Amino acid sequence: MHAMVAVGHLNQRRDVWTKPLPMLKSVFLVDDQPNVPGLSDRIVVGPTKRKVIDHDDPFALSQYNKAISLLSQRIRDPDAASEIALLACILFVCIEFLRGDVEPAFRHFKSGMSIAKASLTKSSSTKPTLTMELIREGMLPFFNRLEVLAMLFGQAPKHDYHITIDEAVPAHFKTMQDARDSIVHLSNIGLRFIRNMKKGRYARLVLPDDFVRQAAMESEVERWKEALDALILTDTVSLRDLDAAKVLRVHQIILTVWLGSCCHIADSYLDNFMADFEAGVTLGEEIQRNAATIEQRRTNQPSFLFDMELVSPLYYIAIKCRDPNIRRRAIALLRQTRRREGLWDSNMAAAIAERIAALEEVNLSTLDGSELPAEEDRVHNTEISTMVSENPHEHTLRYYSKAYGLDKEFKVWTERIVLEMDPGPNTRPELLY
């Protein structure tokens, strides 16, 4: 109960996310990189410190601490119901999402996953059948989705996934939830492979067996797409299901692109997927137009969603699609979305994507799509860290590029960016370079 009170209180007080959109106030070079494009003529403004209201809200923290204390007592009881502990972990993750703290959120996730796995591996005689079904059908899918989020935020999986690639896609989907659970399985399996290839491709250690496994996963993703198409044609699908199908399709498109490119060292290989990027953005625009909930209709109040929907895939398109037109459509959608999905904040994602675009496009003579950034100008990877307790608008970005050649060392540099809230309610925030 204390955890639920804390979640509700923080959700009401998400002031930091309901103000006008952030603009990039300043960029600070942390490393000694005098020739970083886009920074040569900047006048840098000093960083601002501000009190973070929601992060250290006294009432929410009081309820949160009481909930943790009660849970720790319950865990010491060998007869305590594990589903209560799992529900508490879910609520604790939600609290940390609302506070914007990555590490505590993932600690609670890992604790919950350990409890769930331990509960499901115990002898069936030790727990009622209904309890096992509640954990397996009601709670484990949530932790599966959280595991995808954790890997996207750089967390290495500690175990093999509990579903194999051959089990991930059933012969057909009965409901849209079946389709969602299946794409989550594919994402968990695929992201593990992508992480491994990220190391191997730069060392030129991608083996024939890796390409075989890549092809097998791509085949299952295509089979998932066919199963979703078949479900959509049935008379059991509602209008709400059709909206959900579009979101799932966007996730499938990104997984297709990522799997298809993960064995190749050149970031320019992603240019082969322009049609997929275009399809993902077009679906995102349709979803935005058809948004039906009250909060989505409000232009100045973003919603908070526990699960990932569009922010993460749109951010991927915005940083990995180098066609200036498609990229800007993705960024515009992030600006319009105005919400947080788990730890993904659409406003922050848009500002960071714009910064990366500025770095990559500095040597283009036109932005009409007839030119794309050269390989040496492309940012291969960006690490983002935020000290939420000090200033949620200040982020440290560490960039990795192959400016010296694909087989040379990475060029690495770090920037600290400060996002300021745009004071004008009717003006579009711009990046100040």
pLDDT tens per residue across span 260-282:
999 999 999 999 999 999 999 99
49-63, 101-115, 179-193 — which is least confidently predicted? 49-63
Q: Is the pLDDT of residue 318 over 50?
A: yes
∠ CA 28-39-385, nearest 5°, is 35
What mean pLDDT comes out for the span 126-140? 68
pLDDT in tens, 350-388: 999 999 999 999 999 999 999 999 999 999 999 988 765
pLDDT of residue 224: 98
Query: Does the pLDDT at position 216 exceed 80?
Result: yes
The whole-number average pLDDT for the span 149-166 is 88
Q: What are phi and psi of 73, to 5 degrees?
A: -65, -40
Mean of pLDDT values over 178-198: 96
DSSP per-residue letters across 182-245: HHHHHHHHHHHHHHHHHHHHHTT---HHHHHHHHHHHHHHHHHHHHHHHHHTSTT--HHHHHHH
426: which DSSP letter?
Answer: T
Written as six digits, the tokens of 145 are 């989705």
Provide the pLDDT for residue 67. Answer: 56
**Coil vs helix vs strand at 420:** strand
411-421/394-401 β-pairing: antiparallel
Which of 221, 120, 210 lies closest to 165 in space, CA to CA? Answer: 221
- Token look-up 């935005």 returns 288
Lowest mean pLDDT among 39-48, 114-123, 200-209, 273-282: 39-48
**Is residue 77 classed as helix, strand or coil in its secondary structure?**
coil
- pLDDT (mean) for 324-332: 97
The Cα–Cα gap between 226 and 89 comes to 36
Gap between the Cα atoms of 298 and 293, Å rounded? 9
Taking CA atoms, 263 is separated from 203, 209, 300, 318, 400, in Å, by: 11, 12, 42, 21, 18
Structure-block tokens of residue 231: 């479900």
- The alpha-helical segments, DSSP class H, found in 369-421 are none
Cβ atoms of 172 and 148 closer than 8 Å? no
Worst-scoring range by mean pLDDT, 218-232, 236-250, 386-400? 386-400
- Put simply, whether the predicted model's pTM sits higher than 0.85 gets the answer no
With 0-12 / 13-18 / 19 or more C-beta atoms within 10 angstroms meaning exposed / middle / buried, residue 353 is buried
Torsion angle in degrees (nearest 10) through CA of 193, 198, 202, 206: 0
Find, among 342, 337, 339, 349, the residue nearest to 303 by Cα. 339
Find the mean pLDDT for residues 243-256: 97
Q: Which two tokens stand for residue 224?
A: 């998932």
387 and 404 Cβ atoms separated by less than 8 Å: no
3-state secondary structure of 254: helix
Q: Please enumerate in sequence order all residues whose Cβ is within 8 A of that of 70, keeping only pairs 6 or more positions apart, or say none.
A: 2
Most confident of 93-107, 128-142, 314-328: 314-328
Three-class SS state of 266 = coil
pLDDT in the model for residue 292:
46
Q: What is the pLDDT of residue 400?
A: 97
Q: Edge-to-edge strand order for the sheet containing 340-341? A: 304-305, 340-341, 344-345
Confidence tier at 26 by pLDDT (50, 70, 90): low
% pLDDT > 70, the chain: 71
Angle at CA of residue 19, ends 360 and 39, nearest 5°? 25
Report CA torsion sign: 7, 13, 14, 16: negative
Does 240 score more than 60 pLDDT? yes
Tokens of 254: 């990104």
Q: Is 60 exceeded by the pLDDT of residue 173?
A: yes
Where is average pLDDT lowest: 95-104, 388-397, 419-428? 419-428
In sequence order, the 6+-apart residues with CB closer than 8 A to the CB of 132 are 119, 120, 124
